Chain A
Amino acid sequence: MSYAREELLAVAIARLIGDARHVAVGAASPIPAMAVFLLQQKNRGMPRVSLLQKRSGNPFTEGSRELFDLAGQGRIDVFFLGGAQIDGEANINLVEAEGKRFPGSFGSAFMYFAAKKTILFREEHSPRVLVKKVDFVSAPGWSPPEVQRRGGPAALLTGKALFAWQKDARRFRLESVHPDSSAQDVRANTGFEYDAPASVPQTAPPTSAELALIRGPVARVIAENYPGFAKRVWRG
């Protein structure tokens, strides 16, 4: 069965979210949103999702600080972060690299600590993005033992592969490569060192039941919230 790359990535994210109760999704994150809506279809409305920076679709009545207060209390299980650069120690950079200015760190330096689990997600998989050491640490991937930290990275998903974060070793481990890539392709396009099994499995594609849900009820919700994206993936 044929499927779009976005559908494969959404299914991979859904597996990473697992049985979380509350997932927060940023304004420009249609693929993580697809993953959460898919889980809601499978699990009778669970997990709760908060769409950030939207007028509705979130529980906030106290303005833009409420997300952070809520996260600081431990009420957010899964959050997503990306980066202009992501390095082998799971540090992310949203500020500047090689003289180029990016928008800025947003809430990353707080959310990376406060959410129980962060999924790093960046579609571009290249040595330019996945670097040995970031030029600027917007949010650190790990903290020394004396620094209180509830959560941190769980995994890094790209357009080519899925890496698991190994907290004690402070290194990524290659979990699977997507069907249109290979272990050699991933090695050649990753600027940092990581662990890998002798034989790397393929990322499991969406099942036909998952695709039916994605293209039915999930696509309808996505089209309401991310119209441009929906048009591109499903041609209206």
Chain B
Amino acid sequence: MNLPANQTRHLAGPDALAREIPDGASIGLPPDYSPVAMAVVRALVRRGAKDLKLIGVPVLGLCADILIGAGCVREVETSAVTLGEAGLAPRFTEAAEKGAIKVIDATCPMIHTGLQATEKGVPFMPLRGVLGADLVKHHPDWKTIDNPYAKGDPILLAKAIVPDVALFHARWADEAGNVWVGRRRELATIAHASKACYVSYEELKPGDMLDEELLAPGCIGSVYVTAVAPAPRGAWPLGVPGAYGIDDAHLMHYARLAKTAAGFRQYLDEFVFKTVAA
């Protein structure tokens, strides 16, 4: 497995990023409390993306529910799908109950461990615990081995996870193609492990953030980043730590509408299709 050393491209906006993500791609996505590229998710729905596989790192929320409801998704691997305080993710729940999508149930640290294996370029990585959970029986890529350093000590292996695409939102990008995510380092893990990495951002900084000692540790270096594009308030209705919070009222509104297929279509008409393409 070879992953690319990128020269980051600067694109026009969310729709340009969405055009880069092919049908059938597996996409590593952050949870709702980390910046999610919601503007790009809406653009994926507008372009009629198909057969996507979503990988929750380690769980999924609103973006997955919208993509599933819009018929963009074939498969989900995640430790959970939830709207948090707004309750169950209604489109995911219905699709899973009807068997309309394939769901591979994981547990948070097994997802992180699989991505960390890819970060190191090794085929698998062990993790304690989990043995005896039905998750192990149903997961196609988890194997139990005997610890080669000790007798009679079974331990679980996570196969390296290599998403086709990492997709998330960042507070800043710079002219050099670095993106700043602060303490949301799961975004770095996804970027490091993916074949391509697409990032929407709030604001563009001139120059190179890696030259600034205080900003550099919160950055993902451009070598991992395929393309960036501006999307002010691009995580809305989710938040960007330090910039704006989650729009709880909107999430409740979504959760109510999305309980039915008709309500969900109404939501898409109002908040996804009506938006002028960037």
Contacts and interface: CB of A to CB of B under 8 A. Distances in A.
Interface in B126-178: 127-135, 152-155
A63 B109 contact: no
B118 to A, nearest CB: 13
B131 A147 contact: yes
Contacts of A66: 185
A103 B81 contact: yes
Interface in B173-195: 183-189
B81 A137 contact: no
A109 B189 contact: no
Contact of A139 (B133, B184, B187): B133
A64 B31 contact: yes
A109 B112 CA distance: 14
A146 B154 contact: yes
Nearest to B153: A148
B89 A107 contact: no
B108 interface: yes
Interface in A139-160: 139-140, 143-144, 146-149
A58 B11 CA distance: 36
Contacts of B33: 27, 53-55
A149 to B, nearest CB: 7
B85 interface: yes
B79 A107 contact: yes
Interface residues of A, number: 46
A65 B103 CA distance: 22
Given A109-B130, A110-B129, A28 B84 contact: yes
B222 interface: no
Interface string A43-74: 00000000001110000111111101100100
A113 B130 contact: yes
A102 B153 CA distance: 32
B93 interface: yes
Contacts of B78: 104
Given A55-B241, A63-B186, A68-B112, A109 B133 contact: yes
B80 A104 contact: yes
B88 interface: yes
A109 B191 CA distance: 26
B97 interface: yes
A69 B116 CA distance: 12
Given A28-B85, A63-B189, A65-B189, A101 B105 contact: no
Interface string B38-77: 0000000000000000000111000000000000000000
B26 interface: no
A110 B80 contact: no
* Chain A interface main SS type: loop
A114 B79 contact: no
B34 interface: yes
Interface string A85-126: 000000000111001111111111111111000000000000
Contacts of B188: 63
A66 B128 CA distance: 15
B108 A64 contact: yes
Interface string B83-112: 011001100110011000001011111101
A140 B107 CA distance: 13
B84 A113 contact: no
A156 to B, nearest CB: 19
B97 A110 contact: no
A72 B133 contact: no
Given A63-B189, A103-B88, A103-B89, A110 B108 contact: yes
Given A63-B188, A107-B79, A138-B135, A147 B154 contact: yes
Among A64, A95, A107, A137, the one with the most B-chain Cβ atoms within 10 Å of its Cβ is A64
A96 B132 CA distance: 17
Contact of A110 (B92, B93, B130, B152): B130
Contact of A149 (B80, B108, B129): B129
A228 interface: yes
Contacts of A146: 152-154
The 9 closest A-B pairs by CB, nearest first: A63-B185, A104-B80, A113-B129, A68-B109, A63-B186, A140-B132, A65-B112, A107-B108, A109-B107
Interface of A: 27-28, 53-55, 60-66, 68-69, 72, 94-96, 99-114, 136-140, 143-144, 146-149, 228
